[in-house]
Structure 1
């Protein structure tokens, strides 16, 4: 017995009705979405997109990390992306405080010390979003390209996106 058995059983049912193979792997709607790993977010559904339309990257808090920056750059150069959405969300644990506060919470809950890790936590989500959008827009491999980059806040209680400039 494995703790994955329920998921593997669900996957078998999914595969029985699966008829979406054969995609080429590019983003057919030209969109990449960087959002939080929060399970309340359905990136394709919230944008009216479907399988094969967009590239989806997830990080804690929907913040740009080194790996997500690489993914976004590759999406632009190799995967038909010309629009990038950075999408943090309301009621995010990563917005409950700064890195120190989040590390303190992990320590209090588990006894594990993650102090010193760069987590990207910020209680000022608007400032974090402005920073990430500007960081991507000014990246030397992106800044001279015809790529639209936007910042948005997703409301987990209404399902609505609010654009931040």
Structure 2
């Protein structure tokens, strides 16, 4: 083989090695966002500031003066990154839409939804992802008034109702909150159970090892509970 061929083959080999190393480095970095914004990301703020933005947005929503109406704005840019200011564990109820209720646009909230807004392993893993890899400073457990899942759990506890399919398994996660609420003999068992369920979710997330508990202890993340009123659209932080 001629010297030119040897030099060419060597060059290709080096380039191949560099390309392979770059690919491995990229794989090792997953699942961090592929590209970073040139300016500081919107979630480079404290948890208190994030909560303030959410509550200001809810005030706009409740008075029907929402600022976010053009959801196409920034669509192309969002293909490269996401920097949500809060992770929301919400009920799957069709009447509850966190992005609308907090008047936030696409990319602003990392929403995990399950009927009854309770913490299971899949939801916990999703929130861990938002905190560890997306640098989300605020985590919120969002319950709501007249929650059907909580009401069903009350009937299971009170009337020994057996529900079909996987519903019974889902309600097992909610029943401890119902039992604790009933023990205080409240006038409105449903309302009390909704609040207790949110508080239990907050406590579980705050103490969830190995990720969330460490972030909370270090002051990097705050976990709060809140309730959405279906009738008024207002959200109250517990």
Number of equivalences: 142
Which one has the bigger helix percentage?
A: 2
1:44 has 2:99 as partner: yes
Q: CA deviation at 1:41?
A: 1.2
**Unpaired runs of at least 5, structure 2:** 1-70, 179-189
Partner of 2:228: 154
Aligned residue among 76, 82, 88 for 1:26: 82
1:117 has 2:176 as partner: no
Asked if the contact 2:141–2:225 (Cα under 8 Å) also holds between the matched residues in 1, the reply is yes
Q: Which has the larger radius of gyration?
A: 2
Alignment of 1:126-145 (within 5 A): 126-140=195-209, 141-145=211-215
Asked if the contact 2:143–2:226 (Cα under 8 Å) also holds between the matched residues in 1, the reply is yes
Q: 1:18 to 1:161 in 2, by over 3 A?
A: closer
Root mean square deviation of aligned Cα: 2.5
Q: 1:92 to 1:116 in 2, by over 3 A?
A: closer
Asked if the contact 1:104–1:115 (Cα under 8 Å) also holds between the matched residues in 2, the reply is no
**Unpaired runs of at least 5, structure 1:** 1-16, 107-111
Cα separation, 2, equivalents of 1:58 and 1:74: 15
Structure 1 range deviating more: 19-28 or 30-39: 19-28
1:104 has 2:130 as partner: no
Which one has the bigger strand percentage?
A: 1
Partner of 1:3: none
TM-score (norm 1): 0.75
TM-score (norm 2): 0.54
Cα separation, 2, equivalents of 1:130 and 1:41: 19
Asked if the contact 1:33–1:54 (Cα under 8 Å) also holds between the matched residues in 2, the reply is yes
Alignment of 1:25-104 (within 5 A): 25-28=81-84, 30-98=85-153, 101=156, 104=161
Q: Secondary structure at the match of 1:60?
A: coil
Q: Secondary structure at the match of 1:117?
A: helix
Asked if the contact 1:27–1:53 (Cα under 8 Å) also holds between the matched residues in 2, the reply is yes
Q: CA deviation at 1:116?
A: 5.2
Q: 1:143 to 1:115 in 2, by over 3 A?
A: closer
